Amino acid sequence: MAEKPRIKLPKEAKKGEVIEIKTLIAHPMESGLRKDDAGALVPRKIINRFTCEFNGTLAFACELEPAIAANPYFQFTVRVEESGTFRFTWIDDDGTAITADESITVS
Amino acid sequence: MRALSRRTALALGLGTAAILAGVDRVCATPSEADEAIAKFAGGKKPEPGRIAIELPEIAENGTAVPLTVTVESPMTAADHITDVLVVADGNPNPRVATFSFTPMSGKAEVATRIRLNATENVIVVARTGDGRFLAARKEVKVTIGGCGG
């Protein structure tokens, strides 16, 4: 899980612009339904929550179930009114939180 | 290359049937999907419309099916979509994801990749800021299931 999440968003935007954000994180999203070679169930281990905050305010969130494909990918939009920093957080079933920050200049 | 012998063909057919039967057993029943929706909507009946679901007609591989959901909404503080539930009625666990939007979202639109177990319906239910519910559904034909049953 050392791999850094991949995030794509514009570096600059106009005030009030609705920007598009794409995020991808490497994760097996083990559903808990799959069997290993010996026929034993592989225990569930997924990212169960993803959030995107802008300057500390929640902009977008998702509760994930095992039916989200491996390496969860999201594309969504945020309306930006001021320059600031996005904080992206992925929460694993084991309680680990993976975070990433990206800043944007709004003129 | 020789053509498949009758025996080989028969064995292949039986094998496929066995796999399909195995997958069937872990499927959710459509009523489980209805339950998930009823719980989300608090017993209210969702109205049809205002939701666009983009999914392939046929998904050859059910392990990562691209899905885009767009709900028509001005996304202002007074009138916006708050939550969107995605349900797949043939999956072992029908719930797929719940998205939360805010007026800051600008648009009630999200794209992701989902797992589908078999040919089934994907149902999207959206909650508006004033507590109404909208719903739409789309069928996807799945060639190879993606739930690892």
**Domain assignment of residue B6, yes or no:** no
Domain CATH for B48: 2.60.40.2470
Amino acid (one-letter) located at A19: I
* Residue B15: inside a domain: no
Percent of chain B with pLDDT over 90: 72
CB B87 within 8 A of CB B36: yes
Place of tokens 């920007």: A19
pLDDT of residue B9: 56
A39: domain range? 6-106
Helix (H) / strand (E) element for A21: namely: strand A17-24
pLDDT in tens, B129-145: 999 999 999 999 999 88
Maximum pairwise Cα distance, chain B: 70
Residues B109 and B68: beta-carbon distance below 8 Å: yes
Residue B16 belongs to a domain: no
Within a domain: residue B111?
Answer: yes
A24 within domain boundaries:
yes
pLDDT on residue A56: 96
Q: Which of A60, A67, A76 sits opposite B93 (nearest CB)?
A: A67
Residue A1 located in a structural domain: no
Report yes or no on A28 lying in a domain. Answer: yes
Q: Which of A60, A79, A78 is nearest to A15 (CA)?
A: A79
Tens-digit pLDDT profile for residues B70-116? 999 999 999 999 999 999 999 999 999 999 999 999 999 999 999 99
The total number of structural domains in chain B stands at 1
B118 lies in which domain range? 28-144
Per-residue model confidence as pLDDT tens digits over A53-72: 999 999 999 999 999 999 99
A66-92 confidence digits (pLDDT tens):
999 999 999 999 999 999 999 999 999
The total number of structural domains that make up chain A: 1
What integer best gives the mean pLDDT of chain B? 85
Q: Please indicate whether, in this complex, the C-beta atoms of B91 and A33 are within 8 angstroms of each other.
A: no
Q: What is the pLDDT of residues A6-47, one digit of tens each?
A: 999 999 999 999 999 999 999 999 999 988 899 999 999 999
Q: Is residue B99 part of a domain?
A: yes
Residue A59 is assigned to a structural domain of this protein: yes
The CATH number linked to A100 is 2.60.40.10
Grade residue B8 by pLDDT with cuts at 50, 70 and 90.
Answer: low
Q: Does residue B101 belong to any structural domain of this protein?
A: yes
Prediction pTM value: 0.86
Across the interface, of B68, B97, B102, the residue whose CB is closest to A64 is B97
A74 in contact with B at a CB cutoff of 8 Å?
yes
